[in-house]
């Protein structure tokens, strides 16, 4: 039996990393970057599993999950790939969650519990670390652009877009520097944006300082990957 997965993430590098991991496991993958495109593909192509981020442009992963659940009578397992927890009212739609940075063994263990007619997943020698290293330069470059964009959005007080950009940056940091202090900065900025403290000038200065430190972290990580290449 051929296992076919639909994966959805607005960060193309995340899609590439997850696609490589699933492909190594013998799973055929189609990747989309928006809910609308994913629904169109789902309606025209049979899938065994759907893996989606939650925070996406325009619609959310919950919109996709509701569509898949309703149109498969709950028979197609849906997995969240978001760093954000699944909201309680949508938990019944999801089979589980895979967190960033993506780990092949954890993903394989979760998918094996689905028991696709006893389909055996392939086990190949490449490691998750090798896969992430393959895309690290692109991921770091995109994250640096997101950091600059985030600072500009905060200066213009565009909170909604700032939150979306921060989410993308958060996903990148969790993938390439999950143990760094940058994670704390991301969480702090997220809290400040959520509580809408932007009217205070000293808060904006603090956020800009944290964004600069995030950029420094990305530069340091880039240097480490360059040394290893």
- The values of phi and psi at residue 216, to 5°, are -65, -40
Residue with tokens 């739609």: 93
125 pLDDT band (50/70/90 cuts)?
Answer: very low
- pLDDT by residue (tens digit) across 97-114? 998 888 888 898 898 888
The answer to whether 106 and 115 are in contact (CB under 8 A) is no
Crossing angle (nearest 10°) for helices 128-155 and 201-228: 150
- Decide: pTM greater than 0.85: no
What is the chain's mean pLDDT, rounded? Answer: 86
Q: Say whether 127 sits in a helix, a strand or coil.
A: coil
* pLDDT per position as a tens digit, 48-88: 999 999 998 888 999 999 999 999 999 999 999 998 899 99
Ordered structural domains, the chain, with CATH: 4-113 (3.40.50.2300), 128-228 (1.20.120)
């Amino acid at each position: 039996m051929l296992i076919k997965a639909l994966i959805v993430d607005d960060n193309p590098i995340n899609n590439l990393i997850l696609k490589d991991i699933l492909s190594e496991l013998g799973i055929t993958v189609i990747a989309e970057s928006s809910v609308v495109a994913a629904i169109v593909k789902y309606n025209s192509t049979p899938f065994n599993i759907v893996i989606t981020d939650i925070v996406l442009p325009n619609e959310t992963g919950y919109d996709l999950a509701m569509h898949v659940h309703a149109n498969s009578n709950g028979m197609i397992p849906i997995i969240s790939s978001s760093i954000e927890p699944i909201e309680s009212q949508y938990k019944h739609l999801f089979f589980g969650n895979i967190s960033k940075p993506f780990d092949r063994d954890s993903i394989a263990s979760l998918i094996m519990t689905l028991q696709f007619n006893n389909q055996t997943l392939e086990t190949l020698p490449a490691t998750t670390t090798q896969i992430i290293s393959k895309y690290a330069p692109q991921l770091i470059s995109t994250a640096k652009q997101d950091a600059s964009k985030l600072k500009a959005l905060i200066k213009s007080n565009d909170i909604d877009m700032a939150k979306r950009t921060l989410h993308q940056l958060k996903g990148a940091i969790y993938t390439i520097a999950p143990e760094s202090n940058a994670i704390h900065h991301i969480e702090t900025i997220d809290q400040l944006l959520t509580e809408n403290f932007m009217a205070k000038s000293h808060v904006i200065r603090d956020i800009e300082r944290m964004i600069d430190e995030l950029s420094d972290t990305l530069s340091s990580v880039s240097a480490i990957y360059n040394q290893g290449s």
